[in-house]
Amino acid sequence: PLHAYLMEGTSTIEFEVDGGITDTHTFSKGEAWVGAADVWHNASNKTDQPAVVFVVFMGAEGLENIVNR
């Protein structure tokens, strides 16, 4: 899993569950989100302004922490 905190700008996150995009959310400066280890997601900046995101990845040795698409 991961924890992300948006320090500047905006970031749009797409979450995919069961093979289809089910949720899109735009986060603004000061907001945070947690990404589940078994859910594909894609973060992007859809503006012309910079976005700064502080991300902490958590895991255990020997375990995968990404969902390949």
- Whether residue 45 contacts residue 10, with contact meaning beta carbons closer than 8 Å, is answered with yes
pLDDT at residue 65, rounded to an integer = 66
pLDDT digits (tens, 9 = 90+) for 14-64: 888 777 767 899 999 999 999 877 788 889 999 999 999 999 988 888 877
Structural domains in the chain (count)? 1
Note the pLDDT of residue 47: 96
Examine residue 22 and state whether it is found in any structural domain, yes or no.
Answer: yes
Confidence at residue 11, expressed as pLDDT on a 0 to 100 scale: 96
Name the strand (E) or helix (H) holding 16. strand 10-17
Domain containing 48 equals 2-57
pLDDT-derived band of residue 13, with 50, 70 and 90 as boundaries?
Answer: very high
Which of the 8 DSSP states describes residue 45? -
Q: Classify residue 34: in a domain, yes or no.
A: yes
Tokens of 61: 């040795």
Q: What pLDDT does residue 38 have?
A: 77
